[in-house]
Chains A and B, each alone.
Chain A
Amino acid sequence: MTEREFLADSVEPVQPAGSGQPPKPLKSLGRRILGWLATFIGVILFFTFCLYLLFVVIPQGPEIALARGIGKDTSLTITKIAVDSVKVKKEIALLEKKIDKLTTQGPYLIVNTTDNRFYLYSGKELIREGRCSTGKNTRLIAKKRNYEFKTPRGVHTVQSKQKNPVWAKPDWAFIEEGLPIPPPGHESRFDAYTLGDYKLAIGDGYMVHGTLYKRRMGLPVTHGCIRLLDEDLEVVYNTMPIGSKVIIY
């Protein structure tokens, strides 16, 4: 190879200016951006797909399997024997009688503390229903002790009944009003108006009674007792003897 031929091979040819071709670096930048965008979208789609698999498909896996028949065979191996269907029918009729007998024959009161409603039944017959007020679910924090004002859920029994009851105010009634607590038996403890015309004691100091605050009927505002309107209270008082059930839920 001559020296001229060697130089012609080793030196790159120079592009003449204004030849019409775009500059190389710009073209590759555009392609790169497109590439990044495609990768970014791909990654986003991939992660969305993974999240979909994780939170939608996989938790549904057991149901998909059952729908496709995997583990469908749950049947116990029971070898059936001949049974006397008359006997069976009798047995079931007896069970139905037992269930029927479970419903109290006498009157009973059901109180719904969520909706503040009461239902007075006699056996299976609904005698009266209406609004009532139940516990306000607050905790009074005093110096010596705390008091919880809630209506106790469960089955209670009417333990005593009284016309024109006088309320012997407990300590919390004074604490709530910011008054000093009087000694037991003090005249300021007795209030002849607040409980209305009748009261039915259901144990632990809780009562079904009337109220002076009729506007708040249907709201959870009491200290745990069940307040009824005068007419409802009269019906409840006259219907429910001592020993009848008050069911609170």
Chain B
Amino acid sequence: MILGALSWLLISAMKAPHSFIEEFKTEMAGIKNNKVILSYPDDLLERKTRLDSRLAMSDDDSIGLRINLKEKFLYLEIKGIVLHKTPILEQKSSSFFKHLSVAEKYVLFHNPLTIQKDDATISKDQFQEVIAPKDTIEAAKMTEIIPDTTLTEPVMYRLYLNHGIRVQITGQLPDSIPQFWPRFRFDYRDRYKYLKELTRSVIRNKPAPYQPTISLVINSRDAEAIYRAVPKKGNVILEL
């Protein structure tokens, strides 16, 4: 019986991309396709996708994230100005992205995607509370707080974007710092959440969840800076 239930879950999980793609197609069909633009030669349409999305992001007053998987760089941008650039050390993306045509990439990515929610091992703003001293004697006794900026655990976060796409960023720390268990915990939490959602959808006879994911590994300090710089509902450009 257990094996039967597990097999059923596996079959439902395997069906998920199909229903996701069907939904995606319906969504695409609803968009007013500009036949002329979609008929551009592939290389020009690719360039247009990049330029259109950067221009659209420059209209926003907040900092945005640009992920260029071809050049293997992550950029923080505001009003078209590159504030920060960091190399992608490792990258892995769902097969879904590999099947997209240039025209589909244009339809999906010519506007920046928006962060819907996020899940991270660090907080956006971390405050340490200090009680005001009563007098000068107490003030003299107080040692000035200098926040410890050395990282002891890898920074990890997931950005859930519109169109059901998500980006997972992991900060790479030196090998001397143990990273297996924090990574395992973060990964396990995600798998557990997925299984819960999958079971719920199977019980309710609904399509199983599927989120095409792009996983990136970058320097940990950069991962921290990027997470704190991008607003909660910030913009993300994907350049595949």
Contact = CB atoms under 8 A, between A and B. Distances in A.
A92 B41 CA distance: 12
A127 interface: no
* Size category of the binding interface on chain B: 35 or more
Contacts of A82: 39
Contact of A76 (B15, B25, B40): B25
Interface in A80-103: 80-83, 85, 88-89, 91-92, 95-96, 98-99, 102-103
A58 B13 contact: yes
A59 interface: yes
B149 A89 contact: no
Interface in B76-103: 76, 78-81, 83-84, 94-96, 99-101, 103
Given A99-B54, A136-B145, A138-B128, A83 B104 contact: no
Contacts of B137: 178
Contact of B94 (A63, A92, A115): A63
B149 A71 contact: no
Interface string B106-133: 0100000000000000000111111111
Contacts of A167: none
Interface in B206-237: 208, 210, 221, 224-225, 228-229
A21 interface: no
* Size category of the binding interface on chain A: 35 or more
B16 interface: yes
Contacts of A102: 58, 79-81
A200 to B, nearest CB: 19
27 contacts: A53-B10, A61-B16, A62-B13, A71-B18, A74-B101, A76-B101, A78-B38, A78-B103, A80-B39, A83-B36, A83-B39, A83-B41, A88-B40, A92-B44, A113-B228, A115-B221, A137-B126, A138-B145, A139-B129, A140-B132, A153-B228, A177-B139, A178-B140, A219-B146, A219-B149, A220-B146, A249-B76
Given A74-B101, A115-B225, A177-B136, 12 more contacts: A59-B195, A61-B13, A66-B95, A83-B40, A85-B41, A102-B80, A113-B228, A138-B128, A179-B139, A247-B78, A247-B81, A249-B228
Interface of B: 2-3, 6, 9-10, 12-18, 20-21, 24-25, 28, 33, 35-36, 38-41, 44, 47-48, 51-52, 54-55, 58, 61-63, 76, 78-81, 83-84, 94-96, 99-101, 103-104, 107, 125-140, 144-147, 149, 188, 191-192, 194-195, 198, 208, 210, 221, 224-225, 228-229
